[in-house]
Structure 1
Amino acid sequence: MIDFTFEKTKQDGNARRGVMHTHRGDIQTPAFMPVGTAATVKALYPEQVRQTGAQILLGNTYHLMLRPGAERIEKLGGLHDFMDWQLPILTDSGGFQVMSLANLRKLNEKGVTFRSHIDGSAHELTPERSIDIQKKLDSDIIMQLDECIRLPAEKAEIERAMQLSLRWAERSKQEFNKAPGRALFGIVQGGDNNELRAVSAAGLKQ
Structure 2
Amino acid sequence: MIRVVIVDDQELVRAGLRALAVHDGDVEVVAEAGTGREGVARVREHRPDVVLMDIRMPGTDGLEATRAIVADPALETVRVLVLTTFDEDEHVVEAIRSGAVGYLLKDVSPGDLRSAIRVVADGGSLLSPAITASVMRAAVEGAPHALDAGRLESLTAREREVLEQVGRGLTNDEIARVLFLSPATARTYVSRLLAKLGARDRAALVVLAYETGLVRPGD
TM score, norm. by length of structure 1: 0.33
Larger strand fraction of residues: 1
Larger helix fraction of residues: 2
